[in-house]
Amino acid sequence: MPLSRLFAAAALALTFSAPAVAQPAAQTIQLYSFGFTPNAIHLTAGRPVTLNFVNSAGGGHNFSAPSFFAAATITSGSAPNGLVELGARQSRSITLVPRAGSYKVRCTHFLHQQMGMSGQILVN
């Protein structure tokens, strides 16, 4: 086999054997009365992602994850004190680079956590 064909075959083999991207460039997090979807958010450490927070409820909710936001590098948007506050039917986006770990998430509005608005972020 000519050397050029051997290099082409090797390059093609590497292209098809490369691992797929484990995390999409964006992920939507739905807030509703009284929960989050997805309840367990899976992200890849060191890989940028845009989190699109969408409150589909007629009342306000928030996404509180102080440890997660403190550990991540936020490149666009903000989460003051680790909190994303959303009024009725509001949305907001934050682009960040997550750091490995397991982080708790909850809504801090009165009794919302007790009614099911809690979850976790798992970053591997």
Within 10 Å of residue 59's Cβ, how many Cβ atoms? 11
Residue 101 belongs to domain with CATH number: 2.60.40.420
Q: Per the domain annotation, does 112 fall within a domain? A: yes
Q: Per the domain annotation, does 118 fall within a domain? A: yes
Which pLDDT value is given to residue 24? 73
Within 10 Å of residue 114's Cβ, how many Cβ atoms? 11
Number of domains in the chain: 1
Q: Per the domain annotation, does 39 fall within a domain? A: yes
Q: Could you read off the pLDDT of 67-89 as tens digits, one per residue?
A: 999 999 999 999 999 999 999 99
pLDDT band at 123 (very low <50, low <70, confident <90, very high): very high
Taking the C-alpha atoms of residue 66 and residue 92, their distance in angstroms, rounded to an integer, is 17
Q: Which domain, by its residues, includes 119? A: 20-123
Calculate the alpha carbon distances from 38 to 42, 87, 96 in Å: 9, 19, 18
